[in-house]
Amino acid sequence: MKRFDVIVVGGGPAGAIAAMHCGGRGLETLLLEKARLPRYKPCAGGLTAAASRELGFELDGTVVERSCSGVRIRIRGEYRTVTADGPVFYTVRRELFDENLCRKAADSGTVLHDGEGISDLRRDGRKTVVTTNIDRYLADIVIGADGFHSLVRRSLGVKFTRDEIKFCVLCEVPVPEEMVNSRFGDMLQVDYDYVDGGYAWIFPKRESVTCGIGGALSDSKSFPDKLRRFLHMNGLDTGVRIKGGFLPTTRFRQPVYGDGVMLAGDAAGFVDAFTGEGIRFAIISGKLAAKTAQECHERGDFSQEAFSVYQSCCENAFGGDLVYAARITDLFSRFSEFVKSTIVKHSGLLKGYLKTMTGEMDYRTFFESIKRRIPLVVLKRLLLLQPEAEDTPA
């Protein structure tokens, strides 16, 4: 069996970044991607400015479809537009974006095997045997970045609880570039009125728009029909193919590591429960997994205890954002009208919403900005008073 210091399973952002940094740190690394690259990936294709900075390099111009400087939001029957001085969001095609990252991983010295997926994972003493549809390998460390249906995660016995799982449906609608420019421009379209406890969206790209609906798993059966109605409502082709996907949103209840194993990206549940953003946390967790892999390799310690530092690093780096994103989602679910009324009446909160995308504001601050305004709105409604409009910074 061919031996590697690290085997990374999954060629999405988490896996590609982990492999890139492992290879760059001098670790003999194998990156396994079950599909042939480039491959389709159901995803809205949104890359926040904060996520882009985490990459540490400029993306190729052929990868970025459009640079967006604002969001047009429909909430409580009103349309609000909030903009920034620079890009807050980039739209990409995941097949090209992921392939680009995987090729960069290969340039770092990582061995890239696409079209090769794992079928089994087991411990053999202090090492892990990885069996694929083609071969068998031996590794000191395995980084599982194989998505929601992660075989690596299942090998650890880790399961997501039902309240940690969201669902989305989406489609890619071909639209002439001139029409994208005139109808949508460089603005994301987000509709918080269309779905209870979630939202519908339109993300403009170069010659298409990605449309979708995301929300609670319990409501997911209605999403395909709702999406077609949303397309019709916006004058878009309803005959396109619709895809669905699960969004695992961890609340850090369970470990994302084991003997010789770490989980990154969606496999670990590192998805924002409020916006559905996953790429930013995939990139950060991939980098942290690579750093931990090097440290454990230098010590020759591949025990579960040694890898526990990885979870601590993830919690310190972005755990607060994910936990507070879940709390904001809970607020929307339990007090929807009050929260929406608060956001509509305080333009500073919309600016704060934008700042979470650029990384200028963390979710705890955004959560507290919303929460401390809700009691006043509730009181005024109980007294049948019209809330006064305010323009307070978040």
Which pLDDT score is estimated for 307? 98
Identify whether 131 is part of a domain.
Answer: yes
pTM of the model: 0.93
- Structural domain tally of the chain? 3
Which pLDDT score is estimated for 383? 43
Which pLDDT score is estimated for 376? 57
Q: Within a 10 A sphere around the Cβ of 210, how many other Cβ atoms?
A: 22
d(Cα 324, Cα 96) in Å, to the nearest integer? 32
Identify whether 391 is part of a domain.
Answer: no
Q: What is the DSSP string of 207-229?
A: SEEEEEEEEEGGGGGGHHHHHHH
CATH number for position 234:
3.30.9.10
Same domain, 133 and 263: yes
The residue among 198, 224, 248 that closes a domain is 248
Same domain, 239 and 260: no
User: C-alpha angle 93/20/166, rounded to 5°?
Assistant: 50
Same domain, 114 and 220: no
Domain residues for 352?
Answer: 335-382
Same domain, 100 and 20: yes
Which pLDDT score is estimated for 384? 40
Same domain, 244 and 198: yes
Same domain, 147 and 255: yes
Identify whether 393 is part of a domain.
Answer: no
Identify whether 87 is part of a domain.
Answer: no
Tokens found for residue 222: 């209605």
User: C-alpha angle 327/332/338, rounded to 5°?
Assistant: 120
Same domain, 347 and 320: no
Identify whether 349 is part of a domain.
Answer: yes
Same domain, 254 and 304: yes
Same domain, 237 and 263: no
Same domain, 37 and 183: no
Same domain, 187 and 320: no
| H-type alpha helices, the chain | 13-24, 49-55, 94-107, 151-155, 177-183, 223-233, 279-299, 304-314, 320-334, 336-345, 347-358, 363-371, 374-382
Identify whether 59 is part of a domain.
Answer: no
The residue among 233, 248, 263 that closes a domain is 248
Which pLDDT score is estimated for 326? 92
Count how many Cα atoms sit within 13 Å of the Cα of residue 391 in the half-sphere of its side chain.
1
pLDDT tens track of the chain, all 394 residues?
A: 999 999 999 999 999 999 999 999 999 999 999 999 999 999 999 999 999 999 999 988 889 999 999 999 999 899 999 999 999 999 999 999 999 999 999 999 999 999 999 999 999 999 999 999 999 999 999 999 999 999 999 999 999 999 999 999 999 999 999 999 999 999 999 999 999 889 999 999 999 999 999 999 999 999 999 999 999 999 999 999 999 999 999 988 899 999 999 999 999 999 999 999 999 999 999 999 999 999 999 999 999 999 999 999 999 999 999 999 999 998 888 878 878 888 888 888 999 999 999 999 999 999 888 878 776 555 454 444 333 434 433 3
CATH number for position 21:
3.50.50.60
Which pLDDT score is estimated for 392? 37
Same domain, 242 and 254: no
The residue among 207, 232, 248 that closes a domain is 248
Identify whether 346 is part of a domain.
Answer: yes
Which pLDDT score is estimated for 142? 98
Identify whether 74 is part of a domain.
Answer: no
Q: Give the Å distances, CA to CA, from 358 to 69, 90, 202, 230, 365.
A: 10, 11, 19, 28, 14
Under 8 Å between Cβ of 241 and 249: no
Which pLDDT score is estimated for 211? 98
